[in-house]
Amino acid sequence: MPASRERQNGTRCAGPCTMVIFGASGDLTKRKLVPALYNLVRQKLLPEEFSVIGFARRETSSHEFREQMRRNIHEYAGDDFDADLWQWLESRLDYVAGAFDDDAAYVRLAQKLTEAATAAGNSNVLFYLAAAPEQFGPIVEKLSRAGLTADSAAGWRRVVVEKPFGRDLESARKLNIELRGFLDESQIYRIDHYLGKETVQNLLVFRFANGIFEPIWNRRYVDHVQITVAEALGVEGRGGYYEEAGALRDMVPNHIFQLISLVALEPPISFDAEAVRDEQSKVLRAIQPMSPEDVLTKAVRGQYGTGSIGVRRLPDYRQEDRVDSLSNTETFVAMKVEIDNWRWKDVPFYLRVGKAMPRRLTEITVQFRRPPFTLFRGTDIGALQPNQLVISVAPEEGISLSFSAKIPGATMRIGNVDMDFAYAKHFGTKPATGYERLLHDAFLGDQTLFQRADMVEAGWAIVAPVLDVWTALTARDFPNYAAGTWGPASAAELLARDGRSWRAADQ
Ligand code: BG6
């Protein structure tokens, strides 16, 4: 039975396996991967025969590696730290020091894997590439030459590839070719942590496990869709990476397009990986490519200048560490995306993504068409708001539906009310990194929530014209929004031109 179907029938513990983390001394390992493993231990989803091998250039012993991870998990878990659970995981952590291009290091790794396989009775291995993107190809090549990537009767071999997956369409294609030179597509897990978020996964359930939403989920009833991903932080010491990437590359072809594809896809015939990913891929391929002229009217870029977020004062982006003092890199993007198919023709999807916004907020708003107003002539029509369905992804997780109601009293006055569902209140959920579900799926061999090669390439193809125009034309007005505001004025104008506005974040 495919893993995805088994998962629907109840969560099951992963089978014996060793996870090898390339880039184990980096931020991702301590901030996300190890905490996610700890949460999986808590949920009893890791098997007895489980182990982790950290692999990185830094000369660190296994003992020191364990200590570092322990210090960090204390911080992450806070009052929730459970010494026994951690001990279970810590005793399974090991470390190999070595450069990613050093053959001898792969020999040492192979030895460790053989020891782990002997202890576990099989040789299932998940390689996790939390390294710099230019190292993805060379690492896989070294692994393959060391004979470590071939599936066999003794065990499976899988490779999780972090983002960014390339920096444009051409480099993403090249990387896909490189990886598939050594691995089968079924062994490649391109991770996007947005798909690990509960509310994002819930989109499929919300749309297809309820009888009342799907019939109105189309151009006849929906006026437009808005997606906001706002962060209240600047680049936080990641200037080197961000200066090369920018907000568009960092967030849009990956995270945002995942959200759009799940809001817009047709019902898949099952929850099997290929069925779901086929439908997501169709959405991406139906997005109209922009002409260079379109880019000027349908895409907006911004860069933050000095300003305050609460009590914190942020400098100009251009003054951040490892950022060019004349930088042309955007820290904000807004775009109007059009999906040219029967369900969504003429329903714009507006997206905005930015650093240094007034607060952290990730949400999807589906705004429905206004009803005819004839009946309410003579009343305060201005108070009539269209229905909005708001799917909150962060920091709150939940769904809220707004509708009009009569304000009690002798006259006909209309107000807006919300029906709210909050995950934390209803299910009492514990904080998670978003990586728990994805790692667990990779251990089980379920690729549903991972990106297929064609999806990654389709995402890059959509943003390619925007990247081209923005690279060719220097933004003369940068910085054009102050830290602590909702982006440049042109972002509001993008919607105002269509007679619409962004949902107020404090609504
Ligand atoms: C990452 C980006 O992929 O996602 C970061 O590289 C960004 O720049 C982060 O801050 C946002 O993730 P989340 O889960 O906090 O919305």
Q: Tens digit of pLDDT for each residue in 485-495?
A: 999 999 999 99
Tell which residue, 217, 313, 278, has the closest CA to residue 452. 278
What CA–CA distance (Å, rounded) separates 84 from 42? 10
Please report the atom of ligand 1 found closest to the CA of residue 250.
6
Mean pLDDT of the chain: 92
Give, in order, the Cα–Cα distances in Å from 71 to each of 66, 90, 249, 266, 497.
9, 11, 33, 46, 52
Choosing from 224, 255, 426, 440, which is the catalytic residue? 255
pLDDT score at 428: 83
Which ligand 1 atom minimizes the distance to the CA of 193?
Answer: 14
Which atom, in ligand 1's list, is nearest to the CA of 434?
14
The protein residue whose alpha carbon is closest to atom 10 in ligand 1 is 231
Check pLDDT > 80 for residue 79.
no
Pocket test of ligand 1: the residue of 163, 255, 304 to mutate, having most ligand atoms within 8 Å of its CB, is 255
User: How confident is the model over 7-30, as a mean pLDDT?
Assistant: 83
Smallest CA separation from ligand 1 atom 9, residue: 251
Quick check: 377 and 252 in contact, CB under 8 A?
no
440 as an active site residue: the answer is no
Q: Which of 227, 206, 207 is nearest to 218 (CA)?
A: 207
Q: Cα of 138 to ligand 1 centre, how many Å? A: 25
Query: What separation in Å is there between the alpha carbon of 453 and the centre of ligand 1?
Result: 21
Q: For 291-434, where are the alpha helices, taking DSSP H only? A: 292-298, 423-427
Compute CA distances 25 → 28, 228, 306, 446, whole Å: 9, 32, 33, 27
The mean per-residue pLDDT over the stretch 208-218 comes to 96
For residue 460, the CA-to-ligand 1 centroid distance in Å is 18
Alpha-carbon Rg of the chain, whole angstroms? Answer: 24
Indicate the Cα dihedral angle 233, 234, 238, 243, nearest 10°: 140
DSSP symbols for 459-505: HHHHHHHHHHHHHHS--TT-S-EETTSSS-HHHHHHHHTTT--PPPT
Pick the atom of ligand 1 nearest to 362's CA: 16
At residue 118, the 3 state secondary structure works out as helix
From atom 8 of ligand 1, which residue's Cα is the shortest distance away?
250
Model pTM? 0.92
Contacts of 48 (CB under 8 A, 6+ apart): 16
How many angstroms is it from 233 CA to the middle of ligand 1? 11
Measured distance CA(231)–CA(312) in Å, rounded:
14
For a mutational test of ligand 1's pocket, the pick from 161, 201, 231, i.e. the residue with the most ligand atoms closer than 8 A to its C-beta, is 231
Give residues (CB < 6 A) around ligand 1: 163, 231, 250, 362, 394
The closest alpha carbon to 339, from 277, 293, 283, belongs to: 283
The pLDDT tens digits for 219-251 are: 999 999 999 999 999 998 889 999 999 999 999
Instruction: Measure the CA–CA gap between 232 and 316, rounded to whole angstroms.
Output: 14
The whole-angstrom separation of Cα 254 and Cα 458 is 10
SS3 206: helix
Q: pLDDT value at position 326?
A: 96
Question: Is the pLDDT at 262 greater than 80, yes or no?
Answer: yes
Q: Is the peptide bond before 164 cis (omega within 30 degrees of 0)?
A: yes
Q: What is the mean pLDDT of residues 20-30?
A: 94
CB 482 within 8 Å of CB 355: no
- Pocket residue to mutate for ligand 1, from 28, 31, 162, 193, most atoms within 8 A of Cβ: 193
DSSP-derived letter for residue 256 is I
Whether residue 363 contacts residue 369, with contact meaning beta carbons closer than 8 Å, is answered with no
Q: Please state whether beta strands 50-56 and 388-394 pair in parallel, antiparallel, or not at all (unpaired).
A: unpaired
Report percent pLDDT > 90 for the chain.
80
Q: Which atom of ligand 1 is nearest to the CA of 255?
A: 3
Residue 383, pLDDT score: 67
Domains in the chain, CATH or no CATH each: 17-162 (3.40.50.720), 195-265+286-434+458-496 (3.30.360.10)
> What end-to-end distance do the CA atoms of the chain give, in Å?
46
Structural element, H or E, at residue 129: strand 125-129
Output the pLDDT for position 3: 47
Q: Region 94-109: what's the mean pLDDT?
A: 95
| Contact between 472 and 359 (Cβ < 8 Å) | no
Instruction: Take atom 6 of ligand 1 and give the residue whose Cα is closest.
Output: 250
Asked if the model's pLDDT at residue 400 lies above 50, the reply is: yes
